[in-house]
Structures are given as C-alpha cells and as structure tokens.
Structure 1
Amino acid sequence: MPDARFDQMIAALEQSAAHNSSAYRRRVVLAGLLGYVVILGLLALLTGLTIAMIVLMVTTRTGIAAEVKMAIVFGLLSFALIKALWVTAPPPEGVRVEPDTAPALFDMIERIRAATGGSVIHDVRIIDQMNAAIVQDSGSLFLGARNRLYLGLPLLSALSPAEVEAVIAHEFGHFVGDHGHASGFVYRVRQRWAQVEERLPDGIVAGLLRRFFGWYGPWFAAYSFTLARRQEYEADQVAATAVGPRIMADALLRVAAQAGRFDTAWRLVWDQAPLRPDPPRSPLTTVASVFTEDDPADQTMIDRELGRSADRHDTHPTLAQRLAALSQSADLPARLQKTAAEPLLGETLAPIITHFDEQWHDWADALWADEHAQRQADEAERQAIAGQIAGGATSRDQLYRYAALTEAIDTPQSAAQAYAAVLALHPNANDARFRQGDMLLTTGDDAGIDLLLAAADGERALLPHAYRHIVDYLLRSGRPEEAAPYFAPLEQAERMEEAARHEANGIDETARLRPLSPDLRERLTALIDGVPGVATLHAALRDMDHADAPQIVFVFSARKEHVATQVLDALIEAMLPAGDLIGLERSFKRRWLFNRIRRLPDSSIVN
C-alpha cells in the first residue's frame, strides 16, 4: 500500500476509533478473525482432499498411483499450513529474577498488578536495553499461555522507583480489561501472519495465499495500527490512575531525557577504543553513572522530542500528545537523586551487572581490539598519503581519504582544514563540503550551517543529515528558538529519507526499468567475475522516485551445488562499488521481473 494511501486510511480510522472505541475494537478483532477464516478454510479443504484421496485408494483399484501422489501433495500442503500457523517464540532473553532474591521488585509488581487489575506475571527478566515490556507467549492457535515482564537494567538505573512503577503500570495497561484481551489477540495475529507468510513454500497455493496477504496484510496493519496507538493512550491512563498522572508524565519525560544520555554514554565508551588497547572492565557501571549527573542537555533533548510529529512506523503517540492526553505539563523532572536499580534488585544487582558486562566483553573485546589496531593502521596510512600529497598528488580520492583519516585521528579544526583542501581542487565534492561543515559546527563555528545546506543542495540524500546536524548543534548551543525553524523541514526530509529507503528495499510491477549503459554493463561483468555459483544473471536500471541516482536491479539463478542466499550475498558484495542495487533470486513468484528485464537490450550478464 502506498505511503500516502496508508496515511489517509490511518487518519480516517483514527476518527472512527475516536467516535466509538469499543465498536472499533470489535471491528479489529473481526478483521483479525478474517485471516483465520481464510487459512483454516483452506486447511479444511486440503485436509478434506487428502482424506478423499485416501478413501479413493481404499475403495477403488484403479488410478492408485495418481491418488497416492495427490494425497501426498495435499497432505504436505496441510502440514505446511499447520506448521506455519504454529508461532514459535525464541528463547527468553535476559536474567531471570526470583521473589526471594529481589523481594522489593516483586512487591512493586504485585502492588501495581492489583492496582491496575492486570494479569499474573509468571516470569520476570532483566535485560540490557533501555526498555520494558510484557510479552504473552503463545503456542496455541488463539490464547496466550504465559506473561513475561522484561525490565531493562538501564531503565531501572535511569528512573526513580516511583517512575518505574509508572512504567510497569503502563505495561500492565496494555492487557487490562476488554481492550487488553483485544490487544493480546491483535498482537498474536500480527505475529502469526508475519510467520505464515515467511514460512509458506513456493507453488500455486502459496502464490494465491501471498496474493491474499498482499491485500489483507496492509489492510489489517492499518486497522490494528490505529488500535495499537489508541491503546498507548489507554495504557497511559491506566498507569495515571494507578500511580498518579504527574508521576506518569515524569516517567515519560525522564525516559526521553535519559535515552539521550544512554546513547551518548555508550558513544563515549567506544570513543576510547582507538586510544587504549583494553576496554573498560565494567562498561555498564560507567554508562549508568551518567543518569544521576546534572546535564543541561536534558532540556534540549526534551525540547526536540516535544517538537516531533507522529511517526507512521511507530504505534506510540508523540511525547507532546501523551502529555496532553494526561493533561500534564512538560516540566523537566528534578535531578535524579537515587535510581530504582539498587533498591529494587537488591543483592541480585551486582551479579546481573557482572553477567551483562561479561556478555558485552564476549561480544565487544574482538571489536575493540580491531578498532585499536585500525587506529594504528590509519596513522600509518595517513602518513603515507601525506607523503604522496607533498610529492604533488591531487586526486580527489587521495585528498578525501587524507581528510577522513584526519577526522578520525586528529582535531575537528585539522579535519575542517583537510576537507577545505579537497574543495579547493574539487569544488563539486559535496561529501567533503558536508564533512567540513560538520567539523566547523563541532568547533562552534556557525559557518558550518551554510556548508551543510550547500552540500545537501548539491546531493539530495544529504538533506536529512544536514538538518539533523544543524538542529543538534543549535540545541546543544542553547539556541532552541534558532533551531525551531528547522524542525518541520527536518521531519519532511526524514519522511523523504524513509520513503527512499522503503522504495530501495522493495520492487513491484510499477518499477520503471531501462537498459544498462554499455560502460555499466562492462563494469558489472568485471565486478562479478569470479563470484562462484552464478548460473544466470540479468540486470537493468530502475529509475527512482525518491533518489537522484538509478538503482541496479538484477535477477539471478544459482547453480544446483550452491546455496542461493550465499550466492546473493557474494553478488551484492561484489557489485556494491557500482552503486545502489537490489538483487533477487529467480522464482515463479518473481517471473514478471525476470521477463521484463530479459526483454531489455543487453540485460544478460551471465547466461
């Protein structure tokens, strides 16, 4: 469904839901049941045909071989549908905590459960993310079996105990009363349809089902999206009733501010990698320390969040919308004096931190060593290029590489000068102009604003990045009134960026295809030379609505002794230097694309 059509549908459905929320909720449940009716009806048909073939084999003596084959086919299709309908949950993440080791946490959960009328929590797990959620596990067709509460250790370290109560109450609010049952049902339906579509095999029956899901999926997504967004408001109201609207508002504001601190703290941890060979012993402790510091950037982060518009890809309303629904102001909460982590987790806190630190080291130590080794290699490369430049080298690639290495190694002032040297000889190098502007802003020089805008004017893809850097710079500088005029252009640019990303990641029958140029065809042929397992490959250019440059589209088939996904990965890696591309394996489902490309002149690269 096109973005504009989806947005119009969402707007109309939100009005309908606001008029009569109960009736709308029933409509969403019925919409979810429609998918089950189609799937279960097809399953009943296939099962009936399988039984009919078996009955024919038993009652007749002729045509048994054909009946056996048909029974096997129908039986396998029935089994594939049953398997696809069975949603399998991944193993639970995080560290499980028990009432005897964290009694204060479980007392809080039970107190909030009683206040909200929520369901019993069967499992509580601490995770390493700035998030919280209640997840209903389901292995049956309709009903959930267990409720699992996930609480992020960073979240517990970033909020007061009262604010954590508000967060938990909000999560309970998703599963309270009639709308809670609807929420759980809709969640499982969305999960199941995504899995069914992914697991369906190729073939005529699967093709028909995919066509159904191609219509039903976006339609149900729009209906359930509206319900999910309304339920965020309802969950906020449940929490406000349980803990008080001001505490709920403080929790929303605190999370918005602390999320920015959390991201910044992790960036600062990784900024040390080039400078020291050993990573910090306890990065989680280092990151958590920022949550209780005074930081004037908190208000900047809140102001930015308050200026955001609703995102069509996020069921959460904006911070401003949620505060307005609670009838609460956007006053920043007082500095956090004591976080909730220690009083709630008690003696389990230290081993949980150790567990996540060890988990982080298992993942990060090799990357850290690579970062440090890369810095040494960058130093050596920069010295070598400096010698070439001193000897008269003036190529754009050499100058830009020297500037990029200077940015990674040296001061922003030095990097800005290096990028200026690129532009002095290559004035159309918009990437260098963008980086120079960014470096100037880092030093506090407003001249970087004009350079960022000039770079974006020359290369449309840079526009959202330019606006983000400008807004961040002005807000960091304590100039929100100067940043405000950029909010709306930034949001528009981000919508265009998302549209470009969405367009680039998919393709349908409306794609505008044209032949490759002789030079590009020759280059692609050279790039994929040596890629093993390619049986055939046809390619074309696709003109894009949301990007300046065309996209390379190719359809390939793999040799029998090779795995198609591995061949695709190798082809994409080999062809990336030629530009943006999308590659698909040749199949019955994609025959329309193969036929269109094949009819273009000189589209065959491998045959």
Structure 2
Amino acid sequence: MQRWFQWISFKKISTPEEFDALVCRVERMAHRNPGFYRSRLRLLACLGYVYILAVFVLLFAGLWGIRLYLTTIQDLETIESLNYVTILVGFSLLRLFFVRFDRPKGIPLTRQQVPELFAMLDELASVMKAPKLNNVILNGELNAAIVQRPRLGFIGWQSNYLLMGLPLMQALSPQQCKAVLAHELAHLCGDDGRVSAWIYQIRRTWYDLAEQFEYSSGGFLFYRFFSWYGPFFRAFSFVHARAQEYEADQQVIEVVGGHHLAEALIWLYVYDHLLLKEYWSTHYHRALHQPEPDDDSISQILQVLRSGLSPDQYCRWLALCLARQTTNASTHPCLSERLERLDYIPAELAPPELNATVLLGDKFADLTAQLNQFQKQKEIEEWADDHDYSQHQLAWLHRLNQKPEHLLTPEEKMKRASTTWQLQDQQQALSMFQSIIAENPNQVGARYWVGYLLTEEGQADGVTHLEFAMDHDPSLVIPACRQLYGYYHQRYQPDRAGPYKQRWQNHQKVWKMALAERSKFAQDTQYKPHGLPDAEIRQLTEYFSSYPEIKSVYLAQRVLERFPECPYFVFGMTRRPFHRKKHDFYSNQKLKGLINCAIAFSSDYVLHFLDELVNWERLKRLPGAKIYPQR
C-alpha cells in the first residue's frame, strides 16, 4: 500500500502536458512491474464506484439515524415522509448499476445467410479459444470492431458483437480479412480479454455518471473527486488499451500470419485516403443539390474501392500514413510502429485478385441493397442539416457575387473564394485566391490555398506559397508540411520530403497543446478587448442582423500563453425567446452552423451562446465587447 501512495498523484490534471506526463509515467511503471500495474488498474477501476457507494452509504446512515431519533420522539408524520426520501435515495442507488448501452446498428447476419463467413469465425474462435459471438453485424464502415454490450449494466453478462464493414470486405482479400478478424477476437481471449472488456465498460459507465453528477444539484459531493479521478483513470486504462493492441497483433502472427495483417493495415489506411478524395470530398456537392441522401451510397463506396488507385497515389498516401506518429490522442499505435512490430517492410502491393466479399456468397447483392437503405436512413437527418447549410452558403455566396467588387472587404473576398472552392469550382476558386494575392501578397490564407490547389495538380509553383504560409501562420504548419511531404513522395523525391516530415512532427505536439488551450473554457479563462477596426465591426453587425433569433452579441479575444501572435476570438451570443410566427426554431448547434456559413472574419474564432460559457460575465464586462446591437 505504501508503494501505491508513493507514485499516485492527487493533483488535478487539467492540461495535455500533465496528461501526457502521467501516461509516460504509468507506461514506465507498467514496463518495470506488469503485475503491480494490472492489480492497481483493477483497484482503480473500482474506485469510482467505491466512492459513490460510500457517499450513498453515509446518506443512508444519516437518514437511518434521523429515523431512529424521530422514532424515539414519536413523530410518525415526519417518519412517513422520511421513508419516501429513503425510497428515492435507494432507487437512485440502484440506477447506478444499470447504465444503458445502445445496441450496435447495422444489418444482422445469420449462419444460414453467410455460412462461409461463420465458418471462418468458428475456425478462429476454436484456435484462439475466443468466447461466443452473440451477434455479427454488417455496416458501411471501412473497419471491423468488437463491441461488448452488458445486458445487466454494471453487473455484466456481456453480449459480444462483431461489427463488419462491407467496404472493408471489398478492400481486403479473404486472408487479410481473416487477419483483421483475428485481431478483433484477440481482444476477447483469455482472462486479460475479460478484464479489458470490464475496464472498458467501467470507463464508459464512469463517463455517464460523471456527466450526471458533476452538474446536478448534488454535484458538490462528487465534482472534486471526479475532476481528479477522471484523468488519472483515463491514463491508466489508456496504457492498458494500447498494450492490448500490441498483444492482439502478436496473436494474429501465431494464428494467421503477420504479413496478412500488415498488408491489411496498409490497404485500410491507403483506401481511407482514396475514399476521402474520391467519395467524401464530393459530399457537399451532392448535399447542395439533393435534399436526401443517395439511395446507393454503399454501392458508390464499393465502386470507388473497385476502381483502385494509381501507383503515384499509393506512394503518396502510404508515405503520409507512415509519417504519422503515435500520440496519446488514440490508444491505437501508428501504422509504422505496428508494421515494425510485425517485422514487415512496407512495399508496393498489388490489389487482391479476390476480395473478402466472397465470404458473403450469393447474398452479397441482397446485403448490399439492404445496407444501402440502412445507410440512407442513418444519414437522412444529418444530410438534411448539410443540405440546409450548403443552401445557406450558396445564398450568401450569391449575395457576395452580386456585390460590386470594389465594395468587397478582404474578408469577404476570402469567404467568397473558399465557398466557391467548397461548393462549385476549384479552378474558379484558384483564380479568386490568386487575385487576392495580387492585391495583397501577404494574405497568408490565400497563399496557402493557392499552394494547396497547385500542388494537387502537380505544379511546383505551389511549393513557395505553402512555405510562405507555414512560415507566417503556426496553424498552417501541419497541413502545409503534410501536403508538401505527400507532393514530393508522389514525385518520388523522398529526400526533399524528409525535412517537411521532421517539421510536421516537431510542430505537432506544441500545436496540439495550443489547440487544447484554445478549446478549454474555465473559471480562470482570461479575455481582452477585441481591438478590431470599426469597419469590420459594422460588417459583423450586418451578418448578425440577418438572424432574428440573435438578441445580442459580444466579442473578445482570448488571452493565450501559446502562440499569442495568432489571435483567437470568442463570440458570445444570446437568443431571443422563440416566437413561432416570426421565425423557425433552430437548435443552438444548428444556428451556430448557419452563422458560420455566412460570417466572413479575418482570424480564428469560436461561436458560443453565453449560457455555454463558464465565466461569461467577465466577457460581457470588457470595454466595447458588445457589438450587436450597436448602441
């Protein structure tokens, strides 16, 4: 017990640096003494519920003591009221042990439908001694996963779900698919698998309980504990989850062969880039013209995967995937580390002649049709929002195009060019960005987009623009370096690509901490006056006046420790009461999305409603903070 308290820290972890330092510390401890680590992890997983139970036990003890006292003085009416209070407290206690977990969504597969797939799963389960799979679900992801859903909440009795993506089956050969399935089943094998699932369940349960208690009327009993316990437990379970990924890969080597898993990982990473470029990038264009999703979205994804990719694309995207580093943003190791542990040297691969969809037999076409309909229903609500956003953007773009050129502000010209690139024509957008540079060669955003669009076309003229952008804006270092790294690899010039990879990786950690600082709003968050010229404030007032839901708007700058030369602005808004006859009702999230579609602003910013900010009174008190309505 003394050793436990020697390294445990009760200091609240509130910054990415502190979290990363704790993860490194736990990793070293787990490496030196794995048994000590595993035992403490189990104890720590129980600690949250032990604390909550202790609080409720003390409450019951207090209520029971009061009841005994009332019994001695014969106050029967108060005793009856106290009994109701005790029942309510008991009901709340029972609810702690039955946190609801939703069932995974998709098309259920049966043994009768796809016997070949189940034969492969049976073979793997037999060799690996894996527990029974209760459900196999087909979905539209380029991925596979094991999900455990506790039937009795905290008590357990797990139901095991295997989620299989039809795009994954299209992308991989049967043996590569088998390696991926073996990796997923490895998470369930042996005692460690059951412990891992239990820890994952407790982690998710804790999140639900933390959200319930932190801001509730009784939150003062739990807030201080959870503000320490949360990050500390995440660091512990994070180390365990990453170790499980490596161990699962090692089991695949023994069962299927490491080279099959390595090739599967490469194809999944590369095809993810292919879908992003050839399918998902056209999402806004489709949403602009269609009020509903396509009837055959999964079929379109499968067709993109069938069409394959060129050797240049493969070389570029593989290089980008291998350049990524393992970070604490995800428990999964990066591709290069996994390939190294699998003892596999990346090389150019030929697409599989036979893909894993053969495991679905003659049901492939029918399952694809079912999945098309399922995907349409799944996307329909989000698609409607995207359609509204794109129509809203198009209306504002038309408004900017109708405005005389000499009356457009620099911010409006950038907004017009970026919206044109997103919704209409890249070549037209490129001309607009180049016109902005002709007027102001130091416009960093325009320089970046010209460089990006030119290098996408393979033109070397874009390199200078990207280098200028990354030298003058820290937020553009990573995307510009990534673009140039891929550009030179596609031209088979790895020596020229190397420095950009180094700069990208060096900048990644510090910029991650800067983003964390900008996204966090707490009691000690400091603001300063916005310092914008009157002309830009009048322009902003015009935008906000177009939304009758907005009652008032305040604007301030965040006081930043990291990269203060890159200002970050905060808009704090209040809403008018909803009046059905005057305007439609939009949720806060959708209203912010619509405003983002319209607003043309010179710097990075965030929109918040004042009731979402912890210390909004501090923002309102700043001189000149209120910009709408103007006095």
Scaled to the shorter chain, the TM-score interval is: 0.7 to 0.9
CA contact (8 A) 1:274 1:375 kept: no
CA contact (8 A) 2:154 2:202 kept: no
Deviation at residue 384 of structure 1 after TM alignment:
4.7
Query: 5 Å matches for 1:129-140?
Result: 129-138=141-150, 139-140=152-153
Deviation sequence 1:229-277 (CA, Å, 0-9, x none) = 0110011111211112222222222322222233333136648749987
Paired position in structure 2 for 1:254: 267
Indicate how the Cα distance of structure 1 residues 565 and 183 shifts in structure 2: closer, same or farther if over 3 A, else same. Answer: farther
**Aligned equivalents of 1:470 and 1:518: distance in 2?**
34
Indicate how the Cα distance of structure 1 residues 411 and 474 shifts in structure 2: closer, same or farther if over 3 A, else same. Answer: farther
Deviation at residue 382 of structure 1 after TM alignment:
8.5
Paired position in structure 1 for 2:363: 348
Matched, 1:426 2:440: yes
**Aligned equivalents of 2:205 and 2:473: distance in 1?**
41
TM-score (norm 1): 0.84
Paired position in structure 2 for 1:448: 462
Paired position in structure 1 for 2:116: 104
Indicate how the Cα distance of structure 1 residues 20 and 402 shifts in structure 2: closer, same or farther if over 3 A, else same. Answer: closer
- Amino acid of the structure 2 residue aligned with 1:580: Y
**Aligned equivalents of 1:125 and 1:147: distance in 2?**
11
Deviation sequence 1:522-559 (CA, Å, 0-9, x none) = 8799987886697x998754312345114327597998
Paired position in structure 1 for 2:4: none
CA contact (8 A) 1:378 1:405 kept: no
**Aligned equivalents of 1:382 and 1:600: distance in 2?**
32
**Aligned equivalents of 2:573 and 2:384: distance in 1?**
36
CA contact (8 A) 1:125 1:151 kept: yes
Indicate how the Cα distance of structure 1 residues 479 and 371 shifts in structure 2: closer, same or farther if over 3 A, else same. Answer: farther
Paired position in structure 1 for 2:102: 90
Query: 5 Å matches for 1:350-429?
Result: 350-362=365-377, 363=379, 384=402, 388-389=404-405, 395-396=409-410, 399-400=413-414, 403-404=417-418, 407=421, 415-429=429-443
Deviation at residue 429 of structure 1 after TM alignment:
2.5
**Aligned equivalents of 2:556 and 2:228: distance in 1?**
28
Query: 5 Å matches for 1:164-313?
Result: 164-200=177-213, 202=215, 205-267=218-280, 270=283, 273=286, 282-292=296-306, 293=308, 295-296=310-311, 297-313=313-329
Q: Which moved more, 1:273-282 or 1:203-212?
A: 273-282
**Aligned equivalents of 2:554 and 2:259: distance in 1?**
61
**Aligned equivalents of 2:69 and 2:533: distance in 1?**
62
**Aligned equivalents of 1:603 and 1:55: distance in 2?**
58
**Aligned equivalents of 2:35 and 2:412: distance in 1?**
65
Deviation at residue 515 of structure 1 after TM alignment:
5.1
Matched, 1:552 2:570: yes
Paired position in structure 1 for 2:5: none
Deviation at residue 383 of structure 1 after TM alignment:
7.2
Indicate how the Cα distance of structure 1 residues 68 and 445 shifts in structure 2: closer, same or farther if over 3 A, else same. Answer: farther
Secondary structure at the residue paired with 2:210? helix
Deviation sequence 1:437-456 (CA, Å, 0-9, x none) = 22222332212111122133
Paired position in structure 2 for 1:465: 479
Deviation at residue 370 of structure 1 after TM alignment:
7.5
Indicate how the Cα distance of structure 1 residues 360 and 599 shifts in structure 2: closer, same or farther if over 3 A, else same. Answer: closer
CA contact (8 A) 1:413 1:440 kept: no
Of the three residues 505, 509, 512, the one matched with 1:495 is 509
CA contact (8 A) 2:322 2:335 kept: yes
Q: Which moved more, 1:51-60 or 1:431-440?
A: 51-60
Secondary structure at the residue paired with 1:134? strand
CA contact (8 A) 1:463 1:493 kept: yes
- Amino acid of the structure 1 residue aligned with 2:324: R
Deviation sequence 1:384-406 (CA, Å, 0-9, x none) = 56xx44xx667535654664466
Deviation sequence 1:487-539 (CA, Å, 0-9, x none) = 122234443443333223322344233356698998799987886697x9987
Indicate the percent of aligned positions where both proteins have the same amino acid.
24
Unaligned residue ranges in structure 1 (runs of 5+): none
Secondary structure at the residue paired with 1:508? coil
Deviation at residue 34 of structure 1 after TM alignment:
1.4
Indicate how the Cα distance of structure 1 residues 267 and 479 shifts in structure 2: closer, same or farther if over 3 A, else same. Answer: farther
Deviation at residue 602 of structure 1 after TM alignment:
7.3
Deviation sequence 1:37-93 (CA, Å, 0-9, x none) = 11121122223334444555555334955x677666665455445434422111320
Paired position in structure 2 for 1:580: 605
- Amino acid of the structure 1 residue aligned with 2:570: I
Deviation sequence 1:80-111 (CA, Å, 0-9, x none) = 45434422111320000100111111111111
**Aligned equivalents of 2:89 and 2:618: distance in 1?**
31
Matched, 1:47 2:60: yes
**Aligned equivalents of 1:558 and 1:71: distance in 2?**
44
Indicate how the Cα distance of structure 1 residues 34 and 394 shifts in structure 2: closer, same or farther if over 3 A, else same. Answer: closer
Deviation at residue 172 of structure 1 after TM alignment:
1.3
Secondary structure at the residue paired with 1:154? helix
Query: 5 Å matches for 1:532-543?
Result: 541-543=557-559
Paired position in structure 2 for 1:115: 127
CA contact (8 A) 1:158 1:258 kept: yes
- Amino acid of the structure 1 residue aligned with 2:567: A
- Amino acid of the structure 2 residue aligned with 1:302: L
- Amino acid of the structure 1 residue aligned with 2:452: D
- Amino acid of the structure 1 residue aligned with 2:605: D
**Aligned equivalents of 2:586 and 2:70: distance in 1?**
41
Of the three residues 143, 148, 164, the one matched with 1:151 is 164
CA contact (8 A) 1:273 1:371 kept: no
CA contact (8 A) 1:116 1:239 kept: no
TM-score (norm 2): 0.81
**Aligned equivalents of 2:395 and 2:154: distance in 1?**
56
Secondary structure at the residue paired with 2:162? strand
Paired position in structure 2 for 1:315: 331
Matched, 1:335 2:360: no
Secondary structure at the residue paired with 1:141? helix
Q: Which moved more, 1:539-548 or 1:398-407?
A: 398-407
Q: Which moved more, 1:519-528 or 1:538-547?
A: 519-528
Deviation sequence 1:403-461 (CA, Å, 0-9, x none) = 44664688755543332222222334322222222222233221211112213333332
Indicate how the Cα distance of structure 1 residues 298 and 73 shifts in structure 2: closer, same or farther if over 3 A, else same. Answer: farther
Q: Which moved more, 1:69-78 or 1:425-434?
A: 69-78
CA contact (8 A) 1:233 1:322 kept: yes
